[in-house]
Chain A
C-alpha cells in the first residue's frame, strides 16, 4: 500500500507547506455537521434490516479491554467471547478483533487459537502518548513481534495542538514503518486522534488529513479514556475526510469510532452514517470498526429479542 499519495507529495515536504495545506482545508460548519449527524440518527431501522445491522455491528467490534487491572485470565475470557459471542446461538458472527495492551498480545493470540479474529494492540504510550519516539517505536515493534495484526497508535496531541503538524506526520510515518514485520508484511495501523482533546472540528479535519497523508490504514476517534469520545458528529466528519481522500487519491481508509458507544441504537446510527456518507464499500469490518466492550452485550440482547420475540436481560449475557 502506498504510504503517501503522489497527489499530495508536495504538501508534506516542509512544516510550512503542510500547515498551508491543512489551514487551506475548508472550515467545518459545526452547526450543519451536528444537524446532519442528528438527522441521520433518526432513521428507523426495523425487522430484517435491524437483524442485518446487528450482525454487521457485531462483526465490526474491536472487543476491547484496556485496564490497568487486565489479567491474562480476563484477556482469555475476552478472546473466548470474541470467537463465540453468544454460546446459546452459534449463528452469531465473530467480532472483528480483540484490542489489548501490548503485553497481552501473546496471551490473546494464544487464546484465539487460530480463529478468524484479529488481535489489535494499542501502542505508542497509549493513552497519553507522552513518551520519547524511541520508546514509542519499541512499544510498537514489541506488539508487532508478539503477533499483533493491528496497531492502534495515539498521536502526540501536544505537538498537534502546538501547531507542529510535520512532527505529528513524521511520528505516524515512523510508526507505520515499525509495523512492518520481518517477512515484509505489515500490521494495519489505526491512528487515534483523541478528538475529545482536539477542541475544534477544524482540528479533527486537519488531524484526519495528517493521518491519511502519513499512511494510516484506519483513523480512529478516541482512546475511550477521556470525557468526550466518539460522537456521531466527529465520526461523520472523519467519514467525510476518508470519502474526500478516496475521491482524490483512490486510496481507501477505514474509520473506527471508539468509546461511549454502548447501545444497539447508537451502533445502528453510526452504520447509517457510514452508508450515507461513504457508501456500502465501508460496510465491512475491513473498513469500519467499533471500539467497544459493553456494546457487544447490548447487541446480543437485541439479537436474542429478535430471534425469540422476548426482551432479554443482562442475566443472559456475560459479565465482563
Chain B
C-alpha cells in the first residue's frame, strides 16, 4: 500500500444492475459476495430476483421498437462506440477480468482486447447480415419476392459462466447487432465485469433498455424468464445441462426460439454468424412488378 492510500479511506465500488438505462439495486435488496479465484472477497453484487427480471423484460420491450427501427448503419455506429468506450476503460476491465478469472495481466489484457474487437466485428455486421441471409427469391410469376431478416424481439441471454467478459460480449453483441433487445443474466460467480460493462453501455449512445444486465442465480431467474410470455427467445449459453433442459421445456409454451448451449473451447475464435441468425426471423414479401406491357415484359 502506498503512503497516500494509507492516509485515505477506501472507496469501494457499489456494483449495481443495469436495467432500462438506469443502475438500480435489486428490488429484493439482496446481495451476494463475489470473490476471486483464490477466494478473496472482491465486492458484493446484487442478487436479482424474479421481479428484477420482470422489470428488465418491460424495459427491453419498451426499447425494442426504437432499436429494431433504427437503421442498421446507426446500430453499427453505436456498437462501434461501445468498443471506443471500452478502449478508454481498458485498464479497469483488465483488472476486473484478471481478478474474476484468475488470469495474469497480459492474459487478461488479451481477453479484453478480443472483447473490444468482438464489438467491432459485430458493428461491421449490422448492415451486412441482411444481404447475407436475405435476398430476392426467384418465383414463377410477375412478382418481386424478397426475404429480409427481422429481429425476433426480446431475447433472454444466460451468459457463459466461465468466460465472464469475452464470453459475455460474444453472446450480447450478436443479439443486439440485428435489432433485438436483451435481458442478460451475468455469470453467477464472476458478475463484476458484466456489471461494469453496463456502465460502458450507458455511455455509448445505446438507448436504455436495449441491454439489461442482471447478476444473480440463473436457476432462480431463468425459469421465470423462460416462461415469460413477453420474451421471444432465449440463449442458454451459460446454463448447465439440467437447467438448460428445464428452461427449454418452460420456453416451449409460447414457442420461444431457443439456442441450446454449445461447448466453446475458445471464445476468441472466429464467431461466425450463427449467433446472429439464431435470433432472426425471415420476413418474405411479394410485390407486383407493375403492369405488364403489351409485349409481355415488365417495366
Residues of B within 8 A of A313 (CB): 57, 61, 228-231
- Which one of A57-65, A135-143, A304-312 contacts B? A304-312
In the complex, the answer to whether B227 meets A312 with C-beta atoms within 8 Å is no
- Contact pattern, B 218-245, Cβ under 8 Å of A = 1, otherwise 0: 0000001001111100000000000000
Residues of B within 8 A of A316 (CB): 229
Q: At the interface, yes or no: A114 with Cβ under 8 Å from chain B?
A: no
Residues of A within 8 A of B54 (CB): 311
Q: At the interface, yes or no: B253 with Cβ under 8 Å from chain A?
A: yes
In the complex, the answer to whether B230 meets A309 with C-beta atoms within 8 Å is no
- Contact pattern, A 287-320, Cβ under 8 Å of B = 1, otherwise 0: 0000000000000000010000111111110000
Min C-beta distance of B73 to chain A, whole Å: 29
Residues of B within 8 A of A314 (CB): 61, 230
Min C-beta distance of B49 to chain A, whole Å: 13
Q: Which size class do A's interface residues fall under?
A: under 10
In the complex, the answer to whether A311 meets B61 with C-beta atoms within 8 Å is no
Residues of A within 8 A of B61 (CB): 313-314
Which of A310, A314, A316 has most B Cβ within 10 Å?
A310
Task: Output the nearest chain A residue to B226 by Cβ-Cβ distance.
Answer: A310
In the complex, the answer to whether A309 meets B227 with C-beta atoms within 8 Å is yes
CA distance A310 to B227 in the complex (A): 6
Task: Output the nearest chain A residue to B250 by Cβ-Cβ distance.
Answer: A310
What are 7 sample pairs from A and B whose C-beta atoms fall under 8 A apart? Answer: A310-B253, A311-B54, A311-B227, A311-B229, A313-B228, A314-B230, A315-B229
Min C-beta distance of B152 to chain A, whole Å: 13
Q: Which 9 A-B pairs have the closest CB atoms?
A: A313-B230, A310-B227, A311-B228, A313-B229, A312-B229, A311-B54, A310-B229, A316-B229, A311-B229
Residues of B within 8 A of A315 (CB): 229-230
Residues of B within 8 A of A312 (CB): 229-230
Task: Output the nearest chain B residue to A304 by Cβ-Cβ distance.
Answer: B229
CA distance A315 to B228 in the complex (A): 12
CA distance A310 to B57 in the complex (A): 13
CA distance A313 to B231 in the complex (A): 8
In chain A, positions 208-263 with a C-beta closer than 8 Å to chain B are none
CA distance A312 to B229 in the complex (A): 5
Task: Output the nearest chain A residue to B225 by Cβ-Cβ distance.
Answer: A311
Min C-beta distance of B27 to chain A, whole Å: 12
Min C-beta distance of A31 to chain B, whole Å: 27
Min C-beta distance of A10 to chain B, whole Å: 55
Give 4 A-B pairs besides A309-B227, A313-B229 with Cβ atoms closer than 8 angstroms: A311-B227, A311-B228, A312-B229, A315-B230
Task: Output the nearest chain B residue to A311 by Cβ-Cβ distance.
Answer: B228
Residues of B within 8 A of A311 (CB): 54, 57, 224, 227-230
CA distance A196 to B136 in the complex (A): 57
CA distance A304 to B253 in the complex (A): 14
- Contact pattern, B 36-62, Cβ under 8 Å of A = 1, otherwise 0: 000000000000000000100100010
Min C-beta distance of B147 to chain A, whole Å: 24
Residues of B within 8 A of A310 (CB): 227-229, 253
CA distance A310 to B231 in the complex (A): 11
CA distance A304 to B228 in the complex (A): 11
CA distance A125 to B113 in the complex (A): 66
